[in-house]
Amino acid sequence: MKLPDETPTGVFEVLSRFAEELLASANGLVEVKADRIRDSVRRTVVKIVLATGAALCVALWLGAASLATLRGLCGGFSALLGGRAWLGDLCGGLLALALSAGVVALHLKLSTRRQLIRLEAKYEHIRNKARTGEERGATARSRGGAGDPAHQRDAAERG
């Protein structure tokens, strides 16, 4: 005898309600996750914009300071060279270019030196790794492995 709650339509109704609730909660979770991602992206964009603005302000400030310093140098060279402004500007510009070239050359030399140090350490690590591998292989052969001459001689004598 069947109970009224166990009719096929009752089970299907329960299952369909369960599936609907499951889909509704899954949709809710997806919406929450999407909102979190949108907020995270928005915060990241705001941080990038603020950092870019700050970097731009610092670059402009440093550029203005460098320009003022270069103008002062050019004025000083002009005074030293008898009031000839064009000669002072030329000397100041050449000095600025020489300083820039020196900084670039120093940076390249230091980065090359760091790269060589890294490569030496890498190659030393590889050599050490190869040596330990050879030592392990030699230990295995000395215990009577297949590459051991004594083992091969004994096998030949036995026939």
Does pTM surpass 0.85? no
> Where do the structural domains in the chain lie, given as residue ranges?
8-142
Using DSSP's 3-state secondary structure scheme, residue 77 falls into: helix
Q: Convert the pLDDT of each residue in 123-150 to its tens digit.
A: 999 999 888 877 776 665 555 555 555 5
Q: Which helix (H) or strand (E) holds 144?
A: none
Q: Judge whether 141 and 148 are in contact, CB under 8 Å.
A: yes
The whole-chain average pLDDT of the chain stands at 85
Instruction: Give residue 142's identity as a one-letter amino acid code.
Output: S
Question: In this prediction, what percent of the chain has a pLDDT beyond 70?
Answer: 81
